[in-house]
Amino acid sequence: MSELAILGGPKSRAESYPPWPVWDQRDIDAVAEVIKSGRWGGYPYPGPKTAELAQKFAEMQGGGYAVPMANGTVTMEVALRAAGIGWGDEVIVPAYTFQATASAPMAAGAVPVIVDVDPNTYCLDPRAAEKAITSKTKAIIPVHLGSNMADMDAIMVLAEKYHLVVIEDCAHAHGARWQGMGAGTIGHFGSFSLQSSKTLTTGEGGILLCKTLELAAKAASIIDCGRPHALGGGEEDYSLEFQVGGNFRLSEIAAALALVGIERFPEQARQREAMAAYMDEALSEIPGVRVLKRDERHTTRSFYRYVFAINPADFGVEHDVLCAALDAEGIDCWVGYEAMHNYSLFQPQKSKLAVPSAFPQYFDFKNMNLPEATRACEHEAVWLDEAVFRCGPQGVDDAVKAVKKIQKNAAELHKAADELRGK
């Protein structure tokens, strides 16, 4: 019999990893309190729980003015609009990310310009970004992907040199720090998702950290149906102008859940960080595995997912086959996003949206050359669920044991690969 679970052998881990999100009586009490208060919704904005969340989240990240809202996509659209960026302006985004990083500029009427990533971190490559800058470039959205951070020093140098607005997409980077500075507090904006898979969650939600009170007031207005907001949030100031806006407020129920999540977060982050260091060491001994390089300026890591790379020639199989085999071993695993230029949803002929239809020249995906993102997405990247860190060393040991077992039996797995892929 094969040693590999995918070929009928025993699993490396019999028990499932624990589910996410975690909850206890505190969450129930927090929601019950809001229900009993009768103040469920986000109007008038911000409600008391939302205001408390704004303050506590800015404290947790170490700066900025926080504007809680509906999700971590609209956060980026609102940031662009608050910065006065819109129709036809170019916004640089990395080729390796969730589609929201590119669709948010499109929703604001701007054009996403896709650039390659750094193979060491899989985050936006500042050199590729600089080459893509034109007189129309107005903003750049680095994504802190999986468990890494983009090189914020280099990105802020570009921002200063070319007068660009920087929106950090921190959907994966709650609690992360770069040279001691919180993710989302370095650029002009930090965009956070609180969607249910995220390490701080309310089920659905988002928070936009803004560098200045003025930007925060504009953002609060845009998400509150355009009502004027005074600097510092809080009371409406009707001496200010209304603007076009929508209802993207966060509900008080969601804010209450996020407040409990913030209480739990430091201990969870400590455990993930300790287990990830243990994982780095153990994985780096396996032939064909490349632990992503940790930039020493990335002083605190956060782990939405633990991402590592394989060199398929040395490991013995491609990453999709490894991931399928890991899943069968009982280790929750994912190959990660597609490269952005392969996302069919942005192709102008498939969309009647204003962008990309009005700007087809930016969406000539076949002629885009993005070798690093393509390599990561099609051959190398392996995303492990953060749940592997929530069972202490045993959770990590099981995952490492499974990767080792698969590597040892890679020749057998390689022979079965076509069949496993359903070819």
Ligand X SMILES: Cc1ncc(COP(=O)(O)O)c(C=O)c1O
- Taking CB under 6 A as the criterion, the residue among 195, 243, 271, 347 binding ligand X is 195
Question: Considering the rule CB under 6 A, would residue 139 count as an interface residue with ligand X?
Answer: no
What number of chain residues touch ligand X (CB under 6 A)?
A: 14
Residue 306 touches ligand X, criterion: CB under 6 A: no
Annotate each residue in 43-82 with x if it binds ligand X (CB under 6 A) or - if it does not, as one string.
----------------------------xxx---------
**Could you tell me the CA-to-CA distances from 149 to 10, 124, 192, 337 in Å, in that order?**
37, 9, 14, 17
Report in angstroms how near the CB of residue 156 gets to ligand X at its nearest: 20
Q: Cα 233 from chain centroid?
A: 26
Backbone angles phi, psi at 229, to 5 degrees: -120, 135
Interface segment toward ligand X; rule CB under 6 A; list 57-65, 92-100, 210-218, 368-376: 92-100
Q: Which residues, 6+ apart, have CB-to-CB distance to 259 below 8 Å?
A: 30, 49, 52, 53, 56
Q: Among residues 101 and 251, whose Cβ is nearest to ligand X?
A: 101
The two structure tokens encoding residue 373: 């993102």
Specify the residue for token string 């099609």: 378
Residue 169 or 385: the one with the smaller Cβ distance to ligand X is 169
Cβ-based burial of 347 (10 A; exposed 0-12, middle 13-18, buried ≥19) = middle
Task: For ligand X, give the closer residue by CB, 229 or 305.
Answer: 305
Q: Considering the complex, what minimum distance in angstroms separates the CB of residue 4 from ligand X?
A: 31
Q: Does 101 bind ligand X (CB under 6 A)?
A: yes
- We find the least distance from the C-beta atom of residue 73 to ligand X, in angstroms, to be 3
**Interface with ligand X includes 216 (CB under 6 A)?**
no
193 sits near ligand X (criterion: CB under 6 A): yes
Closest CA to 148 of 413, 390, 376: 376
When asked if residue 100 is in the footprint of ligand X (CB under 6 A), the reply is yes
DSSP state of 377: I
- CA angle 160-164-165, nearest 5°? 115
| Interacting residue ranges for ligand X, rule: CB under 6 A | 71-73, 97-98, 100-101, 143, 169, 171-172, 193, 195, 206
